[in-house]
Chain A
Amino acid sequence: MRGIYTWGAILAIVFASVIGDVLLARAMKQVGDVGALWRRAGLGVVIGRTLGNPNFLFGVTAMAAAFFSLLFALSWGDVSLVAPAAASLTFIGNAVAAKIFLHEKVDRRRWIAAGLVAAGVALLAG
Protein backbone atom coordinates (compact mmCIF):
# COMPACT_ATOMS: atom_id res chain seq x y z
CA MET A 1 0.00 0.00 0.00
CA ARG A 2 2.84 2.32 0.94
CA GLY A 3 4.44 1.51 -2.41
CA ILE A 4 1.39 2.76 -4.27
CA TYR A 5 1.47 6.06 -2.35
CA THR A 6 5.18 6.47 -3.04
CA TRP A 7 4.82 5.81 -6.77
CA GLY A 8 1.77 8.07 -6.92
CA ALA A 9 3.81 10.87 -5.38
CA ILE A 10 6.72 10.13 -7.75
CA LEU A 11 4.38 10.36 -10.75
CA ALA A 12 3.02 13.65 -9.34
CA ILE A 13 6.59 15.00 -9.12
CA VAL A 14 7.32 13.95 -12.70
CA PHE A 15 4.03 15.35 -14.02
CA ALA A 16 4.39 18.70 -12.23
CA SER A 17 8.04 19.24 -13.11
CA VAL A 18 7.54 18.34 -16.78
CA ILE A 19 4.68 20.86 -16.97
CA GLY A 20 6.85 23.41 -15.15
CA ASP A 21 9.85 22.91 -17.43
CA VAL A 22 7.77 23.13 -20.60
CA LEU A 23 6.00 26.32 -19.43
CA LEU A 24 9.28 27.93 -18.34
CA ALA A 25 10.94 27.03 -21.64
CA ARG A 26 8.00 28.48 -23.58
CA ALA A 27 8.02 31.63 -21.42
CA MET A 28 11.73 32.24 -22.04
CA LYS A 29 11.34 31.71 -25.79
CA GLN A 30 8.64 34.42 -25.67
CA VAL A 31 10.90 36.75 -23.67
CA GLY A 32 13.65 36.19 -26.24
CA ASP A 33 17.43 36.03 -26.00
CA VAL A 34 18.09 37.38 -22.50
CA GLY A 35 21.67 38.47 -23.25
CA ALA A 36 20.68 40.48 -26.31
CA LEU A 37 17.67 42.00 -24.52
CA TRP A 38 19.84 42.97 -21.54
CA ARG A 39 22.35 44.78 -23.76
CA ARG A 40 19.58 46.51 -25.69
CA ALA A 41 17.10 47.45 -22.96
CA GLY A 42 18.72 46.82 -19.58
CA LEU A 43 18.30 44.26 -16.81
CA GLY A 44 15.08 45.84 -15.52
CA VAL A 45 13.28 45.12 -18.78
CA VAL A 46 14.54 41.51 -18.78
CA ILE A 47 13.26 40.90 -15.24
CA GLY A 48 9.99 42.77 -15.83
CA ARG A 49 9.24 40.91 -19.05
CA THR A 50 10.07 37.53 -17.46
CA LEU A 51 8.03 38.06 -14.28
CA GLY A 52 5.14 39.51 -16.30
CA ASN A 53 4.93 36.45 -18.56
CA PRO A 54 1.90 34.27 -17.61
CA ASN A 55 3.67 31.09 -18.75
CA PHE A 56 6.55 31.91 -16.38
CA LEU A 57 4.20 32.35 -13.42
CA PHE A 58 2.32 29.09 -14.17
CA GLY A 59 5.67 27.35 -14.68
CA VAL A 60 6.96 28.47 -11.29
CA THR A 61 3.66 27.37 -9.70
CA ALA A 62 4.06 23.92 -11.27
CA MET A 63 7.64 23.74 -9.98
CA ALA A 64 6.39 24.56 -6.49
CA ALA A 65 3.80 21.77 -6.82
CA ALA A 66 6.62 19.41 -7.86
CA PHE A 67 8.61 20.43 -4.78
CA PHE A 68 5.72 19.73 -2.41
CA SER A 69 5.06 16.38 -4.13
CA LEU A 70 8.72 15.60 -3.48
CA LEU A 71 8.23 16.32 0.23
CA PHE A 72 5.24 13.94 0.30
CA ALA A 73 7.12 11.28 -1.64
CA LEU A 74 10.05 11.50 0.76
CA SER A 75 7.77 11.08 3.74
CA TRP A 76 6.41 7.81 2.27
CA GLY A 77 9.41 6.36 0.46
CA ASP A 78 13.20 6.17 0.65
CA VAL A 79 15.27 8.94 -0.88
CA SER A 80 17.30 6.25 -2.69
CA LEU A 81 14.17 5.28 -4.65
CA VAL A 82 12.40 8.65 -4.95
CA ALA A 83 15.31 10.83 -6.13
CA PRO A 84 16.62 8.69 -9.02
CA ALA A 85 13.16 7.53 -10.14
CA ALA A 86 11.76 11.07 -10.23
CA ALA A 87 14.87 12.57 -11.87
CA SER A 88 15.21 10.02 -14.65
CA LEU A 89 11.47 9.78 -15.42
CA THR A 90 11.31 13.59 -15.55
CA PHE A 91 14.13 13.46 -18.07
CA ILE A 92 12.25 11.12 -20.41
CA GLY A 93 8.98 12.98 -19.84
CA ASN A 94 10.63 16.28 -20.77
CA ALA A 95 11.97 14.89 -24.05
CA VAL A 96 8.46 13.68 -25.01
CA ALA A 97 6.76 16.91 -23.86
CA ALA A 98 9.33 19.14 -25.60
CA LYS A 99 8.62 17.32 -28.86
CA ILE A 100 4.82 17.51 -28.52
CA PHE A 101 4.27 20.92 -26.93
CA LEU A 102 7.38 22.94 -27.82
CA HIS A 103 7.79 21.36 -31.30
CA GLU A 104 11.47 20.82 -30.62
CA LYS A 105 13.20 18.61 -33.13
CA VAL A 106 13.97 15.65 -30.87
CA ASP A 107 15.96 13.61 -33.39
CA ARG A 108 17.63 10.23 -32.86
CA ARG A 109 20.66 11.96 -31.38
CA ARG A 110 18.55 13.59 -28.66
CA TRP A 111 16.51 10.42 -27.92
CA ILE A 112 19.71 8.43 -27.41
CA ALA A 113 21.09 11.20 -25.21
CA ALA A 114 17.87 11.35 -23.17
CA GLY A 115 18.02 7.58 -22.62
CA LEU A 116 21.71 7.61 -21.66
CA VAL A 117 21.34 10.55 -19.27
CA ALA A 118 18.18 9.09 -17.68
CA ALA A 119 19.97 5.76 -17.07
CA GLY A 120 23.05 7.56 -15.76
CA VAL A 121 21.01 9.73 -13.40
CA ALA A 122 19.19 6.65 -12.10
CA LEU A 123 22.57 5.02 -11.31
CA LEU A 124 24.16 8.12 -9.77
CA ALA A 125 21.26 9.50 -7.75
CA GLY A 126 20.51 6.14 -6.15
Chain B
Amino acid sequence: MTFRKYLVLAGVTVFAAAGDSMLSHGMKQTGNISLNHLQGVIFAVLNPWVAVGILLLLAFFATYMTALSWADLTYVLPATSLGYVLLALVARFALHEHVSPLRWLGIALITGGVGFIAGGPELTKHPHADEPVNKACAVAASPPFGEAQGKLLAKNATNGAPGVKV
Protein backbone atom coordinates (compact mmCIF):
# COMPACT_ATOMS: atom_id res chain seq x y z
CA MET B 1 0.00 0.00 0.00
CA THR B 2 1.43 3.31 -1.08
CA PHE B 3 0.59 6.74 0.34
CA ARG B 4 -1.40 7.49 -2.82
CA LYS B 5 -3.61 4.42 -2.23
CA TYR B 6 -4.32 5.45 1.38
CA LEU B 7 -5.27 8.85 -0.03
CA VAL B 8 -7.80 7.19 -2.39
CA LEU B 9 -9.31 5.22 0.54
CA ALA B 10 -9.54 8.44 2.56
CA GLY B 11 -11.34 9.97 -0.43
CA VAL B 12 -13.86 7.09 -0.41
CA THR B 13 -14.64 7.79 3.26
CA VAL B 14 -14.79 11.59 3.12
CA PHE B 15 -16.69 11.94 -0.18
CA ALA B 16 -19.36 9.41 0.89
CA ALA B 17 -19.94 11.07 4.26
CA ALA B 18 -19.87 14.65 2.95
CA GLY B 19 -22.01 13.84 -0.10
CA ASP B 20 -24.68 12.02 1.94
CA SER B 21 -24.96 14.76 4.53
CA MET B 22 -25.18 17.57 1.94
CA LEU B 23 -27.83 15.61 0.02
CA SER B 24 -29.84 15.03 3.19
CA HIS B 25 -29.53 18.70 4.21
CA GLY B 26 -30.68 19.85 0.76
CA MET B 27 -33.57 17.40 0.55
CA LYS B 28 -34.91 18.61 3.89
CA GLN B 29 -35.02 22.13 2.42
CA THR B 30 -36.83 21.10 -0.75
CA GLY B 31 -39.42 18.97 1.04
CA ASN B 32 -41.22 15.81 0.03
CA ILE B 33 -41.18 14.43 -3.49
CA SER B 34 -44.15 12.26 -4.43
CA LEU B 35 -44.57 9.96 -7.39
CA ASN B 36 -47.45 12.15 -8.60
CA HIS B 37 -45.27 15.26 -8.75
CA LEU B 38 -42.03 14.07 -10.27
CA GLN B 39 -41.17 17.58 -11.46
CA GLY B 40 -40.22 18.14 -7.82
CA VAL B 41 -37.03 16.21 -8.60
CA ILE B 42 -35.90 19.02 -10.94
CA PHE B 43 -36.36 21.64 -8.21
CA ALA B 44 -34.47 19.38 -5.82
CA VAL B 45 -31.48 19.17 -8.17
CA LEU B 46 -31.45 22.99 -8.52
CA ASN B 47 -30.91 23.29 -4.76
CA PRO B 48 -27.16 24.04 -4.32
CA TRP B 49 -26.79 21.60 -1.39
CA VAL B 50 -28.28 18.79 -3.47
CA ALA B 51 -26.16 19.70 -6.51
CA VAL B 52 -22.90 19.74 -4.50
CA GLY B 53 -24.00 16.53 -2.76
CA ILE B 54 -24.45 14.80 -6.13
CA LEU B 55 -21.01 16.01 -7.30
CA LEU B 56 -19.44 14.67 -4.08
CA LEU B 57 -21.19 11.32 -4.52
CA LEU B 58 -19.83 11.14 -8.08
CA ALA B 59 -16.36 11.75 -6.63
CA PHE B 60 -17.08 8.98 -4.10
CA PHE B 61 -18.02 6.60 -6.92
CA ALA B 62 -14.82 7.40 -8.85
CA THR B 63 -12.57 6.84 -5.81
CA TYR B 64 -14.53 3.68 -4.85
CA MET B 65 -14.04 2.22 -8.35
CA THR B 66 -10.34 3.17 -8.25
CA ALA B 67 -9.89 1.41 -4.90
CA LEU B 68 -11.71 -1.70 -6.16
CA SER B 69 -9.30 -1.86 -9.11
CA TRP B 70 -6.40 -2.75 -6.79
CA ALA B 71 -7.97 -3.98 -3.54
CA ASP B 72 -10.45 -6.64 -2.42
CA LEU B 73 -14.10 -5.74 -1.89
CA THR B 74 -13.84 -6.92 1.73
CA TYR B 75 -10.89 -4.54 2.17
CA VAL B 76 -12.51 -1.43 0.68
CA LEU B 77 -15.98 -1.73 2.26
CA PRO B 78 -14.89 -1.02 5.86
CA ALA B 79 -13.42 2.25 4.57
CA THR B 80 -16.88 3.33 3.42
CA SER B 81 -18.33 2.61 6.86
CA LEU B 82 -15.67 4.79 8.49
CA GLY B 83 -17.81 7.59 7.05
CA TYR B 84 -20.41 6.94 9.80
CA VAL B 85 -17.68 7.45 12.38
CA LEU B 86 -16.61 10.67 10.66
CA LEU B 87 -20.20 11.98 10.67
CA ALA B 88 -20.64 11.18 14.37
CA LEU B 89 -17.36 12.95 15.22
CA VAL B 90 -18.36 16.00 13.16
CA ALA B 91 -21.74 16.01 14.94
CA ARG B 92 -20.03 15.91 18.35
CA PHE B 93 -17.08 18.26 17.92
CA ALA B 94 -18.13 20.67 15.12
CA LEU B 95 -21.90 20.86 15.67
CA HIS B 96 -21.72 20.16 19.45
CA GLU B 97 -24.57 17.66 19.25
CA HIS B 98 -25.06 14.97 21.87
CA VAL B 99 -23.67 11.56 20.89
CA SER B 100 -25.22 8.76 22.97
CA PRO B 101 -23.09 6.02 24.64
CA LEU B 102 -24.54 3.43 22.22
CA ARG B 103 -23.25 5.50 19.30
CA TRP B 104 -19.80 5.76 20.90
CA LEU B 105 -19.88 1.95 21.16
CA GLY B 106 -20.76 1.82 17.45
CA ILE B 107 -17.79 4.11 16.66
CA ALA B 108 -15.48 1.88 18.68
CA LEU B 109 -16.73 -1.29 16.91
CA ILE B 110 -16.32 0.17 13.39
CA THR B 111 -12.89 1.59 14.20
CA GLY B 112 -11.80 -1.75 15.65
CA GLY B 113 -13.10 -3.60 12.58
CA VAL B 114 -11.29 -1.28 10.18
CA GLY B 115 -8.10 -1.64 12.23
CA PHE B 116 -8.38 -5.45 11.91
CA ILE B 117 -8.69 -5.22 8.10
CA ALA B 118 -5.99 -2.60 7.64
CA GLY B 119 -3.45 -4.88 9.33
CA GLY B 120 -3.86 -7.54 6.61
CA PRO B 121 -3.05 -7.67 2.90
CA GLU B 122 -5.26 -5.56 0.61
CA LEU B 123 -5.48 -8.02 -2.28
CA THR B 124 -6.01 -11.78 -2.40
CA LYS B 125 -3.25 -13.35 -4.46
CA HIS B 126 -4.57 -15.97 -6.89
CA PRO B 127 -1.58 -18.22 -7.63
CA HIS B 128 -3.66 -20.84 -9.45
CA ALA B 129 -6.32 -18.56 -10.89
CA ASP B 130 -8.10 -19.92 -13.94
CA GLU B 131 -8.97 -16.44 -15.11
CA PRO B 132 -5.97 -14.75 -16.71
CA VAL B 133 -7.41 -11.36 -15.77
CA ASN B 134 -7.23 -12.04 -12.05
CA LYS B 135 -3.78 -13.46 -12.39
CA ALA B 136 -2.52 -10.44 -14.28
CA CYS B 137 -4.04 -8.21 -11.61
CA ALA B 138 -2.42 -10.07 -8.75
CA VAL B 139 0.96 -9.90 -10.46
CA ALA B 140 0.61 -6.27 -11.45
CA ALA B 141 -0.32 -5.30 -7.90
CA SER B 142 2.80 -6.76 -6.34
CA PRO B 143 5.59 -4.20 -6.13
CA PRO B 144 8.44 -6.39 -7.51
CA PHE B 145 6.70 -6.49 -10.88
CA GLY B 146 6.62 -2.71 -11.18
CA GLU B 147 10.23 -2.45 -10.06
CA ALA B 148 11.48 -5.15 -12.40
CA GLN B 149 9.54 -3.69 -15.28
CA GLY B 150 10.92 -0.23 -14.57
CA LYS B 151 14.49 -1.57 -14.49
CA LEU B 152 13.91 -3.47 -17.73
CA LEU B 153 12.57 -0.37 -19.44
CA ALA B 154 15.46 1.70 -18.15
CA LYS B 155 17.90 -0.93 -19.37
CA ASN B 156 16.31 -1.01 -22.80
CA ALA B 157 16.42 2.76 -22.93
CA THR B 158 20.12 2.92 -22.15
CA ASN B 159 20.81 0.21 -24.69
CA GLY B 160 18.86 2.18 -27.19
CA ALA B 161 16.52 -0.73 -27.87
CA PRO B 162 14.25 0.10 -30.81
CA GLY B 163 10.52 0.49 -30.34
CA VAL B 164 10.62 0.95 -26.58
CA LYS B 165 9.23 4.24 -25.40
CA VAL B 166 9.92 5.24 -21.83
- Residues in A lying within 8 Å of B, measured CB to CB: 21-22, 24-25, 28-36, 50, 87, 91, 94-95, 98-99, 102-107, 109-110, 112-117, 119-126
Which residues of B have CB within 8 Å of A125?
84
Q: Are B77 and A21 in contact (CB under 8 A)?
A: yes
Interface string of B60-82 (1 = CB under 8 A from A): 00001110111011111110010
The CA-CA distance from A14 to B137 in the complex, in Å, is: 28
Q: Are A116 and B69 in contact (CB under 8 A)?
A: no
User: Chain B: interface residue count, which band?
Assistant: 35 or more
9 A-B interface contacts by CB (under 8 A):
A28-B68, A29-B133, A29-B137, A32-B133, A102-B72, A121-B81, A123-B106, A123-B109, A124-B106
Within 8 A of A (CB), among B72-130: 72-78, 81, 84-85, 88, 102-103, 105-114, 116-117, 119-120, 124, 126, 129
Q: Is the interface of B mostly helix, strand, loop or mixed?
A: helix
| Nearest CB on A from B70, distance (A) | 5
B140 at the interface (CB under 8 A from A): yes
| Nearest CB on B from A108, distance (A) | 10
Q: Which residue of B lies closest to A96 (CB)?
A: B74
Which residues of A have CB within 8 Å of B66?
28, 34-35
Q: Are B141 and A33 in contact (CB under 8 A)?
A: yes
Which residues of B have CB within 8 Å of A113?
78, 113-114, 116-117
Q: Are A104 and B110 in contact (CB under 8 A)?
A: no
